[in-house]
Structure 1
Amino acid sequence: MASPVPSGYVLRNTWHPEFCSIHDFSTLDKIRASLKSKMIYLMGDSTSFQWIYYLTKRVTTLKYFDHQSVPVFKTRVALDLERNTFIQWKKHGYPLVTKAFYSVKDLNYIAREIDQVAGDSNTAIVIAIGQHFRPFPMDIFVRRVVNIRRAIERLLLRSPDTKVIVKAENIREMNADTELFGNFHGYAQYLAMKYIFRGLRVGVIDAWDMTIAYNSNTVHPPEQVVWSQIMMFLTYLC
């Protein structure tokens, strides 16, 4: 379906999409029931890392498998053994612009990661990409997203019940280096992403319109914005 413009609005600090109704996840039991027996792969940048960080903070039965003193960009795994919930976050491949040290040993491209996922009705993949591509020529981002689309097509051919969710970019700080990281570049990528994924059976979390509506103006928005994104994801998951 075509995405409406704008895709939703914020009322009483809650995101309301125009094209669907958000499920009720007001209690911990409802969140746990939605995550039960699920394998969730978060692939992308630090804006998707916020998801696993916030979920482990809110859902106390989700515990990190790896030690929490690991470097910022190391692959993270969170488990709820009682409910058979598996959540993994892994950074995308180059370009990866950061001042933090990270190891290239577990660095991989999203398309290759998707090809390694078997997939089934209890598997969900979330893709968040864009912020680290802003300083580079547009064709690099376009080629990357096209390759991701092809990998998703292969995944849905072998495992059509797998859920794939694409998270759009957040808007970011106005005091960042505008020529390199400004929202002008992000908006062009946002439009390209929507065009490339058009016609593909994926869910879209319009974080661009969401962060505009919240007026967050930070690449890592506050918890209420992250939680609204997660509630959209859980709605797709259920």
Structure 2
Amino acid sequence: MSLPIPSGYALQEVWHPQFCSVSDFSTLDRIQECLKKKKIYLMGDSTLRQWIYYLTEKVETLKLFDRHSAGPFKSHVALDLERSTFIQWKRHGNPFVSRKLFSVKDGNYITNEIDRLAGDKDTVIAITLGQHFRPFPMDLFVRRLLNIRRAIHRLLLRSPETRVIIRTENTREMDTDMERLGDVNGYPQNLAVMDIFQGLNVGFIDAWDMNIAYGIYDVHPPDHVIWNQIIMFLTYIC
């Protein structure tokens, strides 16, 4: 189905989507039960890395594993050994624009990462990209999306029970370099994401509309927005 515009509304820091009813994850037990035996692969930029940080703070049994790498853009792994939960965040491939140093050896293209996964009913993939593509021509972003779509199609052919979630990019600060990084470039990218992944058996989390509804123009939104994104994610996979 196509996403309605707008895709929902925010009331008292709670997101209410128009197209589905979210599940109740107000207790730690419900979250742990949902994550039990799951292998979750978060692929994208630092806005998706916020999920693994938030989950390790929210779920006390979920611990970050020290990969002995340096910098914020290293691969992150969180484990709950008692419940066999595995969560990994890995940055997407170039272009990746940052003022902080990162190792090029630790990154890979999302297409390659998806092709390496066998997939099963307990495997979940969440994908976000767009912020680092804003300074570059639109055709580069579209080609990347098409390659990812083909990789998801191959994954669902060999393992149709695998869950794939597409999370759109966030709105950005108003005082940023608007010509290169502003939302005037991000909005057509957002439309391209929703158009290109139509027809695939994937779930959508409309982070763009969520940021607008909350009145937040921050590429890294606060915790209550991140939590509502995660509630949507948990609703899809459980």
TM score, norm. by length of structure 1: 0.99
Shift of 1:67: 5.3
Q: Deviations over 1:165-215 (max 9, x none)?
A: 000010010000000001011000000111100111100000000110011
> Following superposition of structure 1 onto structure 2, how do residues 1-238 of structure 1 map, counting pairs within 5 Å?
1-66=1-66, 70-238=70-238
The amino acid of 2:111's aligned partner reads: A
Q: How far has the Cα of 1:221 moved from its partner?
A: 0.2
Could you tell me which amino acid in structure 1 is paired with residue 14 of structure 2? T
Between the aligned partners of 1:118 and 1:80, the Cα distance in structure 2 is 21
Distance 1:67 1:152 in 2: 27
* One-letter amino acid of the structure 2 residue matched with residue 11 of structure 1: L
Q: CA deviation at 1:12?
A: 1.1
C-alpha offsets along residues 88-117 of structure 1, whole Å, 9 cap, x if unaligned?
000000000001100011211000000001
| SS of equivalent to 2:127 | strand
Task: Report which stretch shifted further, 65-74 or 116-125.
Answer: 65-74
SS in structure 1 at match of 2:139:
helix
The residue identity in structure 2 corresponding to 1:118 is A
Gaps of 5+ in 1: none
Gaps of 5+ in 2: none
Provide runs of 4+ in structure 1 moved above 3 Å. Answer: 67-70
Output the CA distance in 2 between the equivalents of 1:105 and 1:94.
Answer: 12
* SS state at 1:9 partner: strand
State how far apart, in whole Å, the 1-side matches of 2:70 and 2:15 are: 33
Q: 2:62, 2:79 within 8 Å by CA — same for their partners in 1?
A: yes
Count of residues in Structure 1 that have an aligned counterpart in Structure 2: 238
In the alignment, is the contact (CA less than 8 A) between 2:67 and 2:75 conserved in 1? Answer: no
Q: Which secondary structure state, in structure 1, belongs to the residue aligned with residue 104 of structure 2?
A: coil
SS in 1 for 2:217: coil
- One-letter identity of the residue aligned with 1:43: M
The code of the aligned residue for 2:117 comes to V
For 2:236 and 2:67, how far apart are their aligned partners in 1? Answer: 30
CA distance in structure 2 between the partners assigned to 1:101 and 1:164 by the alignment: 30
Provide the C-alpha distance between the structure 2 equivalents of 1:169 and 1:71, rounded to a whole number of angstroms: 23
Shift of the alpha carbon at 1:69?
Answer: 7.7
C-alpha displacement at 1:70, in angstroms? 3.3
State TM-score, norm by structure 2. 0.99
